[in-house]
Amino acid sequence: MSQRTIERRGRNYVDGAWQEETRNARLFENRDPATGQLLSLYPDSRRQDVDRAIEAAQTAFSSWRRIPVAKRGEILLKAMRILESRKEELARAMTREMGKVLNETRGDVQEAIDTALYFAGEGRRFFGQTTTSELADKFSMTVRMPVGVCALITPWNFPMAIPSWKIFPALLCGNTVVLKPSPLTPDSAMHFVEALEEAGIPPGVVNLVYGAGKTVGVWLTQDPRVHLVSFTGSSAVGAQVGAMCAKTYKKCSLEMGGKNAQVVMDDADLELALEGALWGAFGTTGQRCTATSRLIVHEKVYKKFTDALVARAKRLKIGNGLDPQTEMGPLVSEIQRERVHRYVQIGLKKDKARLLTGGRMLAEGPHAQGYFYAPTVFEGSPDMTIAREEIFGPVTIVMKVKSFDEAIDVLNNTDYGLSGSIYTRDINRVMRAIRDMQTGITYINAPTIGAEVHLPFGGIKHTGNGHREAGTAALDIFSEWKAVYIDYSGKLQRAQIDDH
């Protein structure tokens, strides 16, 4: 890997200030996964750094929660305009540190912009409910209240969109936050917080600490001063986060893995289904929790569809995401590439799956300095490891079925339940799929990826713990309902007792 001079050293952001680097601080590298270039160094935060961030958030909470919701929304609107003005700059920086193609990183920044706009609007619609009382001269209503200090632990695959899903609704609800981003995408987190700082967020309301999940993430999760943890990552780590939160009675939102499937029925528009499969399986180099890692195809169109899929996968242009001709970039790190290759070997040796294309690292010529992997298609069956475990790379498995009912059974035969899609022209099948797919997100004649910010995002089974991100559902994560009773009768009234 190239050892060119770094451009910058990053810093934590605590209590409204970018912190000076602690003497002899541990640092971690931020590298371009396409070229190996060292982009920057960031602090691997210590316990005292985390303590300062939590203390700052705790102190700021008492004043921030009292700012009118509409005014908090106006700050989000200012942040939106700042992100919008810098979209291209932020997208290019994201491609350099994360690898996905420029059109996708533009979309990542746009999602943060859209989320800011959406929740800024919710500042004028922060609705509770008014309702009747069973007693005379008594008024009842509900209002949303903030939770407190929120620890937000975010991944590298959507390094601006996913933090926006958490930070914007958390702030709108009156909470203060400590963000711990992935060490693989620190620049994007810094740029995001810079926009909030410029928008006028008060000191201590937003804090940013860098470091590893096994240290910084654990400290945040275990600290009793933190009232809520919102985590996006693997199901294995999410289960640990949930267990730690339970010990200190924290509110906990988990958005975890997926093993998503696209069904292609015999009456499908095959060209449309093919485009959906390619985008769903290889978009973001397969590094999405909603990626199409399983393709369930009716036997009548199986050969035609599979042959076309393999041919198109072989023609995908792999390279640096900054190149406008590139269709698929590198994996985010060497560790991630090794993980993908390990699963490919499992597919070949343990599962005895048939490899149709790919299955190899790309490490020569223009790919020599990066973490590239060939788009990979297996043919196999639902019981195989590669059909059951999340790979998080450009690998998909095609499986043949004889009927719609069998397709739905195969789709549901997984520990996960995030996203699913079906391609068919039959409205009866469409309605049954909506009813019977065990997924939090269902697409009809569209790939398994492509969520929009005003709809709830999340899944069932090992994918989540019942919460949803995005849309108004996110307000239920970052606020607590308070029931209010106002008795103006001037006498004691007893619910369920008087007049019964």
Domain boundaries, the chain: 8-256+464-483, 260-444
469 beta partners: 457
**What pLDDT does 97 receive?**
97
pLDDT digits (tens, 9 = 90+) for 55-71: 999 999 999 999 999 99
Q: What are phi and psi of 325, to 5 degrees?
A: -85, -15
CATH topology of domain 260-444: Aldehyde Dehydrogenase; Chain A, domain 2 (3.40.309)
42, two tokens = 């960031």
- Write the DSSP symbol of residue 233: S
113/164 Cα distance (integer angstroms): 8
With a cut of 70, list the residues of the chain below it in pLDDT. 1-8, 22-24
Q: The pTM is what? A: 0.95
Q: What are phi and psi of 151, to 5 degrees?
A: -95, 125
Query: Which residues, other chains included, contact 239 with Cβ-Cβ below 8 Å and sequence gap of 6+?
Result: none
Cβ distance 211 to 240 under 8 Å? Answer: no
Nearest to 260 by CA among 411, 153, 436: 411
CA 319 to chain centre: 24
**Sign of the CA dihedral running 219, 159, 317, 451:** positive
Q: Which amino acid is at 188?
A: S
180/178 Cα distance (integer angstroms): 7
Cβ distance 315 to 281 under 8 Å? Answer: no
Tell me, yes or no, if 289 is annotated catalytic. Answer: yes
356/349 Cα distance (integer angstroms): 15
- DSSP notation for 138-185: EEEEEEEEE--EEEEE--SSSTTHHHHHHHHHHHHTT-EEEEE--TT-
Q: What is the β-pairing status of strands 27-31 and 38-43?
A: antiparallel
Taking CA atoms, 369 is separated from 3, 37, 52, in Å, by 11, 9, 39
Domain 8-256+464-483 sits in CATH at: 3.40.605.10
Taking CA atoms, 325 is separated from 88, 262, 363, in Å, by 17, 27, 19
Q: Which amino acid is at 56?
A: A
**What pLDDT does 248 receive?**
94
Helices (H), 255-370: 270-282, 302-315, 334-345
Helix (H) or strand (E) run with residue 362 in it = strand 361-362
47, two tokens = 């316990």
**Mapping DSSP to helix (H, G, I), strand (E, B) and coil, where does residue 378 land?**
strand
**Mapping DSSP to helix (H, G, I), strand (E, B) and coil, where does residue 238 land?**
helix
* Catalytic, out of 289, 327, 390, 469: 289
363/15 Cα distance (integer angstroms): 44
In this structure, how many other beta carbons lie within 10 angstroms of the beta carbon of residue 317? 10
**Mapping DSSP to helix (H, G, I), strand (E, B) and coil, where does residue 397 land?**
strand
Terminal CA-CA length for the chain: 79
Cβ distance 416 to 257 under 8 Å? Answer: yes
**Mapping DSSP to helix (H, G, I), strand (E, B) and coil, where does residue 322 land?**
coil
* Catalytic, out of 255, 327, 390, 469: 255
Helix (H) or strand (E) run with residue 401 in it = strand 395-401
Q: What are phi and psi of 194, to 5 degrees?
A: -60, -40
Cβ distance 294 to 341 under 8 Å? Answer: no
- Per CATH, 8-256+464-483 and 260-444 having the same topology is answered no
Tell me, yes or no, if 255 is annotated catalytic. Answer: yes
- DSSP notation for 187-198: HHHHHHHHHHHH
99/371 Cα distance (integer angstroms): 9
**What pLDDT does 2 receive?**
42
pLDDT digits (tens, 9 = 90+) for 121-139: 999 999 999 999 999 999 9
Phi-psi category of 373—alpha, beta or left, where left has phi over 0 and alpha has psi -120 to 50? beta
Cβ distance 340 to 332 under 8 Å? Answer: no
91/188 Cα distance (integer angstroms): 9
